Amino acid sequence: MKLSSWGRYPISDSTECRPRNNAALAAALAQTLHTHSADSSCIARGMGRSYGDSALAPWVHTTTALDHFISFDENEGLLRCAAGTTLENILRVMMPRGWFLPVVPGTWHVSVGGAIASDVHGKNHHLDGSFSQHVESLRLMLASGEIQQCSAQENPHLFHATCAGMGLTGVITDATLRLRRVHSSAILQRTLRASNLDDVFALFEAHHDTRYSVAWLDCLARGSALGRSLLYLGEHADDEGFSPIGNSRVSVPFTTPAFLLNRYSMSLFNSAYYHKPVRNALEQRIEAKQYFFPLDSIQHWNRLYGKRGFLQYQCVIPDATALPAMREILTRISDAGKGSFLSVLKKLGPANHNLLSFPLAGYTLALDFKFEPAILPLLDTLDQIVLEHGGRLYLAKDARMSQDMFRRSYPRWEEMAQIRAQTGADRLFHSLQSRRLGL
């Protein structure tokens, strides 16, 4: 079958299976391992919300049927669940009971296994770190079918290779997460308008102690307005109010013509969005879903980029040179006229111990570009800027990074390769991405 991830690029010819229990998963891995062909490699896949080719392979084992809760400790907030359980299902069940996930990405259509494998981060990384830092333990099925218990204390080498490991050590079968106690389903949001990049950086620093922060940028603004943006700050409300979580009702019904996304249409959108009326710095009460997952209100929004799909470019630059690096990146994008109407800037905290984890202390910028050959030279130029400033790209969003850039920006890749060899993972678990990057 033809299979792609959320960016709809690239497209893979894959054989997909959906095991309903661990025994079926072990049997599927054994079948793949004994195929004895050039295509006898596989990767686990959750909801398919990575953007590039990290969850694509000749054989794909989709875990969506492994989606049940196993246990919950109400006193400690410890939830054990199967790896195919989505963040949406966790929040729909647990938030009315006063519990929230300590870290969430920009969509709740993500499986627990996928969140761990990508070590997702959110709007609070500067204070709370990434998803894996709230994983008490996980169980991992190796290439042999054996299941290993892993945590920071038990098999720590395998734990830190699996968290952010992009599925390359095995298949996560279940995990125990530590949830956060909350007293409301609402977020108290403040919106601050920044006139340029210097302004928004200063605002991030001034509001460092606010739990959640994220900025939307007009990436086509130029001159003194370069990097103009809206910064959204958020804190959990504490008024004991829990409202039902609504469902998405708006959908993009078909793939739109790619030519509709051009410099002029995006400039108009970005200008209108930046100048939209906001209650500057005044507190506004909104539901958590609206604050954390605004795009989930539009089903199939990836169809807006045309039938060839899109590339998301997400980089992180260390604190010391983040401002000049981001200024150079945005200038290059603006000069090329290859803007994005979804441009997001966040502040990140320190790196963790995971071998291939993306975040490091600095700033991360994420932009969406419709796929076209003309975009590739621009992204190559941005790669060089990122490398020169000691940054790297996010593997969960990548579809075209070179092997050289990967190895220069992820210095612990050789440790990852050694662990894969020691556990036999290199005989079975490969994605299109891992082949491209030399893992």
In a domain, 161, yes or no: no
Any domain includes 99: no
- 140 domain-assigned: no
Q: Please report the pLDDT score of residue 37 as a whole number.
A: 61
Per-residue model confidence (pLDDT) at position 279: 74
Give pLDDT, residue 33.
Answer: 79
pLDDT recorded at residue 175: 98
Check: CB of residue 144 under 8 Å from CB of residue 41. no
CATH number of the domain within which 300 lies: 3.30.70.2520
Question: Could you tell me if 363 and 316 are in contact, meaning their C-beta atoms sit under 8 angstroms apart?
Answer: yes
Residue 20 in domain = no
Q: Tell me, what's the pLDDT at 260?
A: 60
Instruction: State the total domains in the chain.
Output: 1
- Global pTM value: 0.95
- Predicted confidence at residue 229, as pLDDT, reads 96
* pLDDT for residue 344: 95
- Sequence-distant (≥ 6) Cβ neighbours of residue 266 within 8 angstroms: 220, 339, 340, 341
User: Is 348 inside a domain boundary?
Assistant: yes
Domain range for 265 is: 186-402
Mean pLDDT of residues grouped by 10 in the chain (439 residues)? 93 93 94 72 96 96 97 97 98 96 97 98 98 98 97 98 98 98 95 97 98 94 94 93 76 68 65 72 89 90 86 97 98 86 92 98 96 93 98 98 98 98 96 96
- Per residue, the 3-state secondary structure of 37-81, as one string, reads CCCCCEEEECCCCCCCCCCCCCEEEECCCCCCEEEEECCCCEEEE
Whether residue 26 lies inside any domain: the answer is: no
Predicted pLDDT at 38: 59
- Per DSSP, what are the bridge partners of residue 78? 73, 178
Question: Is 93 contained in some domain?
Answer: no
Residue 153 lies in a domain: no
Query: Pick from 226, 242, 233: which is nearest to 208 by CA?
Result: 233
Cα maximum dimension of the chain: 63
Nearest to 400 by CA among 362, 433, 351, 356: 433
Look at strands 42-45 and 59-62 and give their pairing: parallel
